[in-house]
Chains A and B, each alone.
Chain A
Amino acid sequence: MQTFKKTLRTIILFVLIFTLLTIFLFEIFFRSEVHVYQDIRERAELAGTLDTLITGASYSKRALIPDEMDKILGTSTYNLSASEMTMQGRYQLLYEEITRNPVKTVYLEMSMHSLRLKPYIDTREGDLYVIPRLDTPKKRLQYAFSAFDPLGYGWLYRQILIRAENDIEAYFTGEYTTVNKFQQRGYIPFVGKEEYTKIKKKPKEKYHTKYLIADRYEKNLEYLYKIIDLCNEYGARLVIVSIPVSEYAIAKYTNIQDIHDFYQDIADENGVTYLDFNLWKDKTSFKYMKDKYYQNATHMGNKAAVVFTEQFSLIMKEYFDGRDISDYFYTDYDTLCRDRGYVNAANKDSDAVPE
C-alpha cells in the first residue's frame, strides 16, 4: 500500500509539474502579440461597438479592409478571418463577438475549399490559429479538445511550443513586442514580397485542366449550419461571400460551378444571401481582378484589397438599399469563361486531373 501511495504521489506530482511547465510556456505564446493572429486585445477594446463582422479564411483576411468598408457603409466592422480557418473556427470566433456586440451584419467567407478540409487532419493549422484568439484558458481547452483528436494533441502541443520558442527568441533579439503592429481591425495586408510576379500561367492554357475533389465533410457542414442558426438567433443578417480568386484559378477547374451551386442551394434553403464575387463582372473602374493583383493564385495583394473593398462595399450598399445588384454578376461560370475568353476547346473535361 505504501508503495502504491508513493507511486501515485510521484505520478500526480509529475503530471502537476508537467502541466505547470506547459502552462508557463503556453502563456508566453498566449500573452505575446508578435503573431499576426493575436488580436484579443483589439477585439476586447472594441467590444460592444461592432455591428459588422467578417468571418472566413485567408481569402477574406487579405481582401476586406474594415476601415475602408466603414467609410462607405457607415458601419463598425471587424475582420475575424485568419489563415487556414476552419468552419469550426469561423463559428467559434463569430460566437465570441456576436455575443458581446450589437451585430447587424455578418459576412461569411466561403471558398471552394472551405468544406473540403478534412477534420482533424487538414484543419490542424487553422484550428491552432483559433486557440490563442480565445480569451480564457477554459475556452482554449474546450476548443482544443473539440477541434483536435488525440493524435493531433502532440502536434498541437509542439506547435505552441515552437511559437513560444519564437517569442523567447524574439525577446532576446529585441524584436519582441506587445504592440499589435500588423493588423487593422483584423485585416492583414499581404505585403513583403514583390507583387504581380507570382502568377504567370495563362487562364486559357489551364482551362479545365483540374477538378476539385468536392468532399464535403459532415463536421464542416455542421458548423456552416451552426453559423446560420447563430446569426438567426442574434438577429444578424448573414451574407455568404466568395472572395474573388485569380483568373487562372477560376479557369482551371471543371467543377467550380458545382461548388457555387451547392452554396447557392444552402443559401436559398436558409433564406440568406450568397454572393459569389468570382462571378463579378467588369463593370467598375477597377478592371476586374486581374492576376497581377494577386500574391498567389487565390490571395489578393494589398493594392487589390483596397480597390476590391471599395467596390465590394459599394455593391453591398446598393444591395442593402434594396437595389437589384444581379447585373453586376455573371449568371454562371460557363458564361464568365466564354466572355473572358478562357475557353480552350483543346482541353477536355474528361482529361482533367483531381486537385
Chain B
Amino acid sequence: MDLLSFDFLLFLPVLTILYFAVPKKCQWWVLLAGSLYFYGYTGWNNLIYIFITAGSSYLAARGIEALQLQHKKELAEKKASLDRAGRTALKEKYQRRTRLVLTLTLLLNFGLLSYFKYLHFVIAQINRIIAAFGSTPFEDTLKIIAPLGISFFTFQTMGYVVDVYWKKVPAEKNFFRMLLFTSFFPQVTQGPISVWSDLSAELFKEHEFTYRNFSWGAMRMIWGFFKKVALANALSAYFKHLSGHYLDYTGISALLGAFLYSVQIYADFSGYMDIVCGFCEILDIRLTENFMRPYFSKSVAEYWRRWHISLGNWFKTYLYYPIATAKWNQNIGRFAKKHFGKTVGSTVPASISLVVVWFTTGLWHGASWGYIVWGGLNGMFIIFSLWMEPVYDGWKQKLKINEASTLWRAFQIIRTFTLLTLIKILPELGGLRKGLGLWRQIFTNHVIPTSFDMLIPRASRDYVEFTVLCIGTLLLLIADLIGRKKPARQWFCEHIPYLLRIVLLAALIIITVWIGSPYLKSAGGFMYADF
C-alpha cells in the first residue's frame, strides 16, 4: 500500500480504532493483521518473501538456541568427566553446528536479496568483460522485480538471528510474533532497521491511548506529509530537470540544483520517518529514530552517525566491529604498529573495516558503479580524516583556531554539507558518467548566470511554488535548529496557542495538497523504497 494514497489514509484510522478497541493483550495481533494486509495489498504473492524471511529466521533462531542449550546441558552433564581439551572440543562441536545454521540462514536470505537486487548488475558486468574479449554477451531477459522493502526486512531479521547467535537475545518462540517483527508495516518498506530487543519490547507491551501521544503523533505525521508531498516531491522536478539539462547551466546553477537535491532527499526520507514514527506514536509505539539533524554535522563521519542512524548502527554492529576485532585484522594492526608506528597501527584495522563497510553500504543503496563509488568516497573521506586527525590538530594549533567558535563550526557544517552534496548526486543522475559530468560542470563552468531562470533551474516556471519551497526549506532548517535543544513539537506546543496550532496545521495540509499533489505521480514513491 502506498503511504501517499487515499487507501492508506483510510487504513490508518480503521487500524487505530481496532487497535485500541481490542483487549490490550491482542493489540499486536491487530498490528500483524494490518501489516500483512498492508504488505499484501499490492499483491498477495509478495507475502511469500516475508514468510520465507520470517520463517527461516524463526527456525534458525530456535535451532541456534536449541543447540546452545544442548551444549550447556551436555557440558553440565559431562562437566566432571571432561578436561579442558574435552570442553574446548565440545564447545567447538556446537559452535560448528550453530555457525552452520547461522551461515545457511544468512546465505538463504542474503542470497535472495542479492538475487533480487544484484543479478542484473552481475550479468551486466560479466557481459562487459565478455564483450571486452570480443565474444557475444549473454542476453539478460530476466524480469526481476524486487519485493518491496526486502533490503530493510532482510537486514532487520538477520540482525535478530545474529543477536540470538551471540546470545544477546533469546529466540522468539511464537512464530507470529516473529512475523510481525519482520512485516511491521510502518517500517517494512523503508525502515528504520530495528533490533529485536528494542522493537519487540515496543510491539508486545500493552498500549494505552493518550491525548499527548495522539496530538504529538498527528502533528509529526502532518509535518512528515508536508516534507514528503510538498517539499520532496516538488523539489524532485527541479533535480529531474537539472539532471536532464545540466550542460545548459553554469557551474553555480548546477551546484544550487545539487543543494536542492540534498534538501529533497532529506525531506523525502525524514518525511517518511515522521509519517511512520508519528503514526506509531499515536499507537503508543516508539520506533528507532533515523535522523538527528544530519545537515548540521561537522564531519562526514558525524554525518553518518546522524543520517539513516539505524542502517549505520546495523553496519557498525554486524560488520564493522566483527571485522575490526577479528583476529586476522588485529594481527595486521600489530604488524603495522611494529613497522610504521603507533598511529598507523591503531588506524589500520579500523580502516580495513571501514573499506568493507562502505563498499557494502554502497552496494546496499543500489546495484551500480555509481553507488559503489559513492560508498567508496564516503569511506575514503572518513578514513582520510581518521589518518589526518593528528595533522589537522597540529594545523589548528598553529593557526590558533578556536574549535568552539561559531564561525569555525559554521565553516565545518557548510564544508561537510557541500562535500556530502557533491558525493550524494554522483549516482543519482542515472549513471556515474553523468554524475561526473555534473561535477565537471560545477567545477569548470564559471560563467555568471545572466537571469534568475539560469541561476535556479526551472524556478521561473512557478515563482509562487518556488517561494513556498524556499519557505518550506527554511522551516525544515528552523525545526532542526530548534531540535538541538528540545523536540520542535514541544517548542511548537509551548509557544503557539492551542487554537492557532490547529489553524497552522490545517493550513499546512492545504499547502501540502496545493503544492505537492501535482507531483504525486511524476515524483514516484519514496526514494528510499528503491534502496
Residue of B whose beta carbon sits closest to that of A9: B211
- Answer whether residue A286 sits at the interface, using C-beta atoms and an 8 A cutoff: no
B507 contacts across to A, CB distance below 8 A: 21
Residue of A whose beta carbon sits closest to that of B282: A7
B506 contacts across to A, CB distance below 8 A: 14, 17-18, 21
Please tell me which stretch of A54-62, A80-88, A157-165, A232-240 contacts chain B, meaning at least 4 of its Cβ atoms lie within 8 angstroms of it.
Answer: A157-165
- A227→B518 CA distance, assembly (Å): 34
B210 contacts across to A, CB distance below 8 A: 3
- A4→B510 CA distance, assembly (Å): 26
Q: In residues 1-45 of chain A, which contact B (Cβ within 8 Å)?
A: 3-4, 6-7, 10, 13-14, 17-18, 21-22, 25
- Answer whether residue A322 sits at the interface, using C-beta atoms and an 8 A cutoff: no
Q: In residues 81-133 of chain B, which contact A (Cβ within 8 Å)?
A: none
- Answer whether residue A271 sits at the interface, using C-beta atoms and an 8 A cutoff: no
Please tell me which stretch of A99-107, A148-156, A301-309, A337-345 contacts chain B, meaning at least 4 of its Cβ atoms lie within 8 angstroms of it.
Answer: A148-156
CB–CB B517/A6 < 8 A? no
CB–CB B502/A157 < 8 A? no
Q: In residues 490-530 of chain B, which contact A (Cβ within 8 Å)?
A: 499, 502-503, 505-507, 509-510, 513-514, 517-518
CB–CB A3/B514 < 8 A? no
- Answer whether residue B392 sits at the interface, using C-beta atoms and an 8 A cutoff: no
Q: Min CB distance, A29 to chain B, in Å?
A: 12
B505 contacts across to A, CB distance below 8 A: 14
- Answer whether residue B6 sits at the interface, using C-beta atoms and an 8 A cutoff: yes
CB–CB A157/B513 < 8 A? yes
In the complex, per-residue mask of A150-183: 1 if CB is within 8 Å of any chain B CB, else 0? 1100110110011001000100000000000000
Q: In residues 133-158 of chain A, which contact B (Cβ within 8 Å)?
A: 150-151, 154-155, 157-158
A21 contact from B214, B215, B503, Cβ within 8 A = B503
A18 contacts across to B, CB distance below 8 A: 506, 509-510
A-B contact count (CB 8 A): 49
Residue of A whose beta carbon sits closest to that of B209: A3
- Answer whether residue B69 sits at the interface, using C-beta atoms and an 8 A cutoff: no
B503 contacts across to A, CB distance below 8 A: 17, 21
Per the CB 8 Å criterion, the residue count for chain B at the interface is: 19
CB–CB B211/A165 < 8 A? no
B388 contacts across to A, CB distance below 8 A: none
B517 contact from A3, A13, A22, A154, Cβ within 8 A = A154
B464 contact from A3, A4, A151, A165, Cβ within 8 A = A165
Residue of B whose beta carbon sits closest to that of A153: B6
CB–CB B513/A169 < 8 A? no
- A162→B513 CA distance, assembly (Å): 10
Residue of A whose beta carbon sits closest to that of B506: A18
- A162→B6 CA distance, assembly (Å): 20
Q: If the complex has contacts A14-B505, A17-B503, A150-B6, are A7 and B510 also in contact, measured as CB distance less than 8 A? A: no
A165 contacts across to B, CB distance below 8 A: 464, 514
Residue of B whose beta carbon sits closest to that of A2: B211
Q: Min CB distance, B59 to chain A, in Å?
A: 42
A25 contacts across to B, CB distance below 8 A: 510
Q: If the complex has contacts A10-B502, A21-B506, are A158 and B6 also in contact, measured as CB distance less than 8 A? A: no
Q: Min CB distance, B131 to chain A, in Å?
A: 38
A14 contacts across to B, CB distance below 8 A: 502, 505-506
Residue of B whose beta carbon sits closest to that of A157: B513
Residue of A whose beta carbon sits closest to that of B514: A161
A13 contacts across to B, CB distance below 8 A: 499, 502
Residue of B whose beta carbon sits closest to that of A22: B510
CB–CB B6/A151 < 8 A? yes
A162 contacts across to B, CB distance below 8 A: 514
Residue of A whose beta carbon sits closest to that of B509: A18
CB–CB B464/A169 < 8 A? yes
- A169→B462 CA distance, assembly (Å): 12
Q: If the complex has contacts A18-B509, A25-B510, A150-B6, are A158 and B502 also in contact, measured as CB distance less than 8 A? A: no
- A13→B504 CA distance, assembly (Å): 13
Residue of B whose beta carbon sits closest to that of A14: B502
CB–CB B211/A3 < 8 A? yes
CB–CB A155/B517 < 8 A? yes
- A171→B109 CA distance, assembly (Å): 61
B211 contacts across to A, CB distance below 8 A: 3, 6-7, 10
Q: Min CB distance, B499 to chain A, in Å?
A: 8
B518 contacts across to A, CB distance below 8 A: 158
B499 contacts across to A, CB distance below 8 A: 13, 17
In the complex, per-residue mask of B187-228: 1 if CB is within 8 Å of any chain A CB, else 0? 000000000000000000000011100110000000000000
What are 12 contact pairs spanning A and B, CB under 8 A? A3-B209, A7-B211, A13-B502, A17-B499, A17-B506, A18-B509, A21-B503, A22-B510, A155-B517, A158-B517, A158-B518, A161-B510
Extra contacts, 16 of them, besides A3-B211, A158-B517 (Cβ < 8 A), are A3-B209, A4-B209, A7-B211, A14-B502, A14-B505, A17-B503, A18-B506, A18-B509, A21-B507, A150-B6, A151-B6, A154-B6, A155-B517, A157-B513, A158-B514, A169-B464
Shortest 5 CB-CB distances between A and B: which pairs?
A18-B506, A161-B514, A158-B517, A6-B211, A17-B506
- Chain A interfacial positions (CB closer than 8 Å to B): 3-4, 6-7, 10, 13-14, 17-18, 21-22, 25, 150-151, 154-155, 157-158, 161-162, 165, 169
